[in-house]
């Protein structure tokens, strides 16, 4: 009897099962869309949406949280085990690759690869800017700033840090637009990447070395930390100084500008163009940032 009834009402049964399944999945999804479970250990619960706020508790892996609100990638959450309310860095709490959160994990870091885009035949400073060129005029600064920034991003992402790029292809970002990204996300560091040049546009220079710059006081400690770590590069370190570059002057967040060698010095450029050097810059930058954030981040 049941079999005959099912055969006579097969379409209705299928539709009913389909509706019930869809309803269940929708209810389940709505009930859980604001719930997350931390993956890393030592996720910091803070009093506000930023690593500058005081830490109130370290969260173990597997802590269940209910998201109450979101701002700039930070989540206001309530713990399900004890109803404690606080803020966590969303990208840290939800990371599936980070095992243990560290001070640098909570940082938002903007990487700014200098120059970019293809200049028009009549240079107008708007369509593109190659930056400085190698001694033979065949290779351009914009290429190596982007390659180095990409290696930095890869190395930083392994720490759990949130990394944003002002550009990730060969385009020109107007100077006054560059600080907007750091301001929008209240970045903990903005790092502009450049290569130096001396003498005529197409010619060799004997000038050699790397250097680091800041302008506002809040960028000095950041620049000092990078100055120390970058001492280990195979190109001599000329030191750090203050300079009123637009990308440093027009941002309120801690910012630094790195000149990572003279592109028209053949011995410098022999290193600059290699993946090995770019990766070395990236690793040493991570080391400097890790030291910097460890010194000024409260952890429980």
pLDDT digits (tens, 9 = 90+) for 143-175: 999 999 999 999 999 999 999 999 999 999 999
Confidence (pTM)? 0.87
φ/ψ of residue 250, rounded to 5: -95, 20
**Nearest-angstrom CA–CA distance, 279 and 273:** 11
Residue 241 has pLDDT above 60, yes or no: yes
Reduced to 3 states (helix: H, G, I; strand: E, B; else coil), residue 123 is: coil
Nearest to 170 by CA among 130, 139, 138, 197: 130
Residues 6+ apart with CB under 8 A from 27: none
User: Identical fold at 35-93 and 103-295?
Assistant: no
User: If you classify domain 35-93 with CATH, what class do you get?
Assistant: mainly beta
Residues 212 and 240: beta-carbon distance below 8 Å = yes
User: If you classify domain 103-295 with CATH, what class do you get?
Assistant: alpha beta
What are the residue boundaries of the structural domains of the chain, listed by start?
A: 2-32, 35-93, 103-295
CA quadruple 69, 70, 76, 77: dihedral positive or negative? Answer: positive
pLDDT in tens, 93-128: 999 999 999 999 999 999 999 999 988 765 555 668
Residues 222 and 292: beta-carbon distance below 8 Å = yes
């Amino acid at each position: 009897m049941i079999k005959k009834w099912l055969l006579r009402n097969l379409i209705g049964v299928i539709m009913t099962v389909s509706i019930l399944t869809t309803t269940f999945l929708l209810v389940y999804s709505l009930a859980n869309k604001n719930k997350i479970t931390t993956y890393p250990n030592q996720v910091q619960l803070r009093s506000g949406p930023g690593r500058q706020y005081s830490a109130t508790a370290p969260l173990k892996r597997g802590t269940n949280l209910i998201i109450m609100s979101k701002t700039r990638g930070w989540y206001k959450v309530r713990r399900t085990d004890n109803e404690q309310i606080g803020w966590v860095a969303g990208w840290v709490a939800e990371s599936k690759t980070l095992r243990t959160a560290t001070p640098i994990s909570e940082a938002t870091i903007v990487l700014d690869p200098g120059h970019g885009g293809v200049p028009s035949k009549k240079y107008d400073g708007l369509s593109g800017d190659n930056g400085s060129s190698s001694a033979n005029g065949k290779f351009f600064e914009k290429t190596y700033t982007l390659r180095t920034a990409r290696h930095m991003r890869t190395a930083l992402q392994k720490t759990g840090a949130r990394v944003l790029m002002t550009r990730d292809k060969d385009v020109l970002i107007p100077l006054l637009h560059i600080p907007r990204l750091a301001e929008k996300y209240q970045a903990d560091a903005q790092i502009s990447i450049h290569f130096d040049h001396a003498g005529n546009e197409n010619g060799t220079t004997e000038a050699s070395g790397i250097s680091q710059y800041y302008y506002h006081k809040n960028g000095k400690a950041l620049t000092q930390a990078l100055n120390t770590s970058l001492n280990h590069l195979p190109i001599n370190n000329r030191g750090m100084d203050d300079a009123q570059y637009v990308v440093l002057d027009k941002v309120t967040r801690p910012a630094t500008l790195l000149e990572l060698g003279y592109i028209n010095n053949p011995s410098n450029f022999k290193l600059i163009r290699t993946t090995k050097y770019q990766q070395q810059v990236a690793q040493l930058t991570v080391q400097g940032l890790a030291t910097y954030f460890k010194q000024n981040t409260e952890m429980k």
